[in-house]
Amino acid sequence: MKDARRRMTQTVLATVGSAEKTEDPNYDAHVAKFDVMIADMNECGAALHSYLTKQKALFADGEELSKSLARVFDENLRMTDWPDVDCELKQCHAAEQYKIRMDLIQNVLRSSASTVTSEHALDPLKAAISTVTPEIHALKAERAIKVTDYDSYRRRLAEKEAKKQSLEAAGKGDTPAAADVQADIEKFQKKVQSGLEEYTYVNQKTKADVVAAKRQHDELMDQLIITTIVCQAELFTQAAAQLDAIIDTLPEDRVREVRRHMHEYVKQGGVRPAPAPEKSKLAIGLDLFTGKSVPSDLKKKDDDHHSSPSAAASGSALPRTQSATAGSSAPPAPPVAVAVPAPASTSGTTSKTSSFQAAKANPFASGDPFEGGEEANEEEEGGNPFAGETTAAAAVAPPAAPVAPPAPPAAATASAESNMVEALFDHEAEEEDELNFSAGDFVEVIDKPDGGWWRGRFNGKEGLFPSNYVKS
C-alpha cells in the first residue's frame, strides 16, 4: 500500500512537471512499432480467415448449383408425359459429371487447401499473437513500475540532499537532525542504485523481446504469403483440371464461342458498372429550386468537365458515377453481365482503427462461423481467431445510384405506407438529405416516389436513398 501511494505521487508529480521523468526515446519507438506490428498481424490474419470462410461458402454454392442442374437434367430425361415433344437435352452426362467434380472440388480440393493454409499460416500466426502480446504487455507494465520507483527514489534523494544543505547553511550540520538526514541520504543512494539496475534490466529486456517479436513476425508473414499463394494456386489449378475434363466432352464450337466472349471482356479490362444517366435540365432546375443543389455546384461540375482530359478528348463529360479511361474504345457493359469487385474503401484500408486492426492480447473470438459440415480438422472449425469484424470489400459492387429527384412534398410523405427493407450494399450520403447505412441494415421506407430514390428513416434520421440498394 505504501509503494502504491509513493508511485501514485510520483506519477502525478511527473505528469504536472514537478518531478523529473526518465525517458528512453528508443524504448518508446520500439513499443510503438510493436503495437503497429500486432495490428498488422491481426489485420492479415482476419483478412485471410475471412477469405477462406467466404471461399468455402462460394464453393458450397457451386456444389448446390451442380446438384440442382444434375437433378433437372435427370428428371427431364426420365419425364415421358410431355405432350407432343420428346426430351432434347444433350448434356445430361455433363451435368452429372459437373455434380461429381464440384463435390470433389469443394470437399477434397478446397478443404485440403484450407487445412494446409491453417496449419502452415493461420495457426502459427494465432499462436504468436496469443503468446507475444501478453508477454510484451506484462514487461511494459513491469517497466512502468520500475521507472516510477527509480524516479521516486531520485526525487526523495534530491529532497534529502537539499535538506542537508539547508541544515549546513543554518549552522546545524552537526546536529542529530543532520545525522538523521545523512542516514536517509545513504539509504536512498542505495535505493537509487538498485532502482537504476532493475529499471535498466527490464527496459533492455522489453526492447530485446520486441526485436525478437519483429524477427518472428517477418518469418511468419513470409510463410503466410508463400502458403496462401501456393495453396490457392494448387486449388484453382486442380479444380480447373477437373472442369477441363468435362469441357473435353462438350461441343467444340459452343465452347469456343463462350471462351471468345470471355476473352473479349478480359481484354477490355473486365466489366464496369453501368453509368448513371445524366440529369435532365428539369431535374437540375428542381434541384436548384428545392435547395438540393446550388449554382456553385453546377459551376464546379462544369469546371471539372472542362479540366478533365477524357472530357477534352471526347467532347462530352462522363457521368459522375462512370469509371472510364480517356480514349477508351470499350463500350460500357450492362450492369448484369458480370459481378464486379467493389473498390476498396479508403477509410477502411488506410485507417488503423478498424476493429480487427486494433492490437488485441487475445486473437481468438468465440463462436464458429460455420454451420454444419464434417470438416472437423479444417482451420475454420475454431471460429474467427482474430477479434473484430473484417473490412474486406464486398464481393459485388453496389449498383450505380439513380439520379436523385427533388424531395417529395410533405403531404405525400405523411400519407406513405411505412415498411422495412434490408440494405444490400453500403450507402454513403453525398448530400445532407441522404441516408448513411451499411449492408445488412434495415431501413424504414416512408415514401416511394418515382425516379429511383426513396425516402426512409434510419437511426432516427429521415432522408433519401437509392431504391436499388435495398431489398424487401
- DSSP secondary-structure letter at 396? S
- pLDDT number for residue 287: 75
Residue 454 host element (H or E): strand 453-458
Per the prediction, the chain carries an average pLDDT of: 77
Q: What angle do CA 386, 390, 393 make, to 5 degrees?
A: 150
- The x, y and z cell numbers of residue 96, run together, are 452429372
pTM greater than the 0.75 cutoff:
no
**428-469 tens-digit pLDDT:** 888 888 899 998 899 999 988 877 888 999 988 999 989 888
Residues above pLDDT 70, as percent of the chain: 72
Is residue 310 predicted with pLDDT exceeding 80? no
pLDDT digits (tens, 9 = 90+) for 330-388: 333 333 333 333 333 333 333 333 333 333 443 534 333 333 333 434 444 444 445 44
**pLDDT tens profile 78-89:** 887 788 888 889
Backbone phi, psi, residue 113, to 5° = -60, -40
Between CA 195 and CA 435 the distance in angstroms is 59
> Cell numbers at residue 429, please?
450520403
**pLDDT the model gives residue 53:** 95
- Virtual torsion, Cα 154, 157, 159, 164, nearest 10 deg: -160
CA dist 131 → 10, 184, 215 (Å): 32, 43, 15
3-state DSSP helix/strand/coil % of the chain, to nearest 5: 60, 5, 35
